[in-house]
Amino acid sequence: QGSTQKYIVKNYFYYYLFKFSAALGEEIFYITFLPFTYWNIDHSVSRRMIIVWSIVMYIGQVSKDILKWPRPLSPPVVKLEMRTNAEYGMPSTHAMAATAISFSFFIATTNQYKYPFELGLVAAFVFSTLVCLSRLYTGMHTVLDVIGGALISAVLLVLLYPAWDTIDHLLLTSPFCPLLSVAVPLVLCYNYPKLDYYSPTRGDTTTILGAAAGATVGFWLNNQYAAPAYTSKSFQPGFPLVTSTMVFVLARFFVGILVVLLTRWVMKSVVLGALGYRYKFPIRDLEARRRLEVEVPYKFVTYSSVGFTATVIVPLLHELLGLM
Q: Mean of the pLDDT values across residues 158-186?
A: 89
Mean pLDDT of 201-212: 90
* pLDDT exceeds cutoff 90 at 209: yes
Whether 243 shows a pLDDT value over 60: the answer reads no
Confirm whether 94 is a catalytic residue. yes
Lowest mean pLDDT among 141-155, 229-243, 258-272: 229-243
User: Distances in Å between the alpha carbon of 305 and those of 116, 218, 261, 266?
Assistant: 37, 10, 11, 10
Among candidate residues 43, 94, 169, 318, the one labeled active-site is 94
* Residue 163 to residue 269: CA distance in whole angstroms: 39
- Report percent pLDDT > 70 for the chain: 91
Task: Establish whether 318 is a catalytic residue.
Answer: no
User: In three state form, how does the secondary structure of the chain look?
Assistant: CCCCCCCCCCCHHHHHHHHHHHHCCCHHHHHHHHHHHHHHCCHHHHHHHHHHHHHHHHHHHHHHHHHCCCCCCCCCCCCCCCHHHHCCCCCCHHHHHHHHHHHHHHHHHHCCCCCCHHHHHHHHHHHHHHHHHHHHHCCCCCHHHHHHHHHHHHHHHHHHHHHHHHHHHHHHHCCCHHHHHHHHHHHHHHCCCCCCCCCCHHHHHHHHHHHHHHHHHHHHHHHHHHCCCCCCCCCCCCCCCHHHHHHHHHHHHHHHHHHHHHHHHHHHHHHHHHHHHHHCCCCCCHHHHCCHHHHHHHHHHHHHHHHHHHHHHHHHHHHHCCCC
Among 65-79, 206-220, 306-320, the range scoring the smallest mean pLDDT is 65-79
Q: Which residue has the higher pLDDT, 305 or 322?
A: 305
pLDDT band at 210 (very low <50, low <70, confident <90, very high): very high
Q: What pTM, to 2 d.p., does this model score?
A: 0.83
Average pLDDT over residues 9-18: 81
| More reliable by pLDDT, 303 or 322 | 303
Residue type, 57: M
Q: Considering the chain, what is the average pLDDT of its residues?
A: 83
Residue 8 pLDDT exceeds 70: yes
Contact 46, 32 (CB under 8 A): no
Pairwise CA distance, residues 14 & 41, whole Å: 31
Residue type for position 272: L
Q: Residues 43, 141, 169, 318: which is the catalytic one?
A: 141
Q: pLDDT tens digits for 54-98?
A: 999 999 999 888 888 888 777 777 777 766 566 777 898 888 988
Least confident of 46-55, 199-208, 244-253, 306-315: 244-253
21 has a pLDDT exceeding 80: yes
Query: In this predicted structure, what is the pLDDT of residue 115?
Result: 78
pLDDT digit string (tens) for 290-312? 888 888 899 999 999 999 999 99
pLDDT of residue 231: 43
Instruction: Supply the pLDDT for residue 227.
Output: 56
| 243-271 average pLDDT score | 87
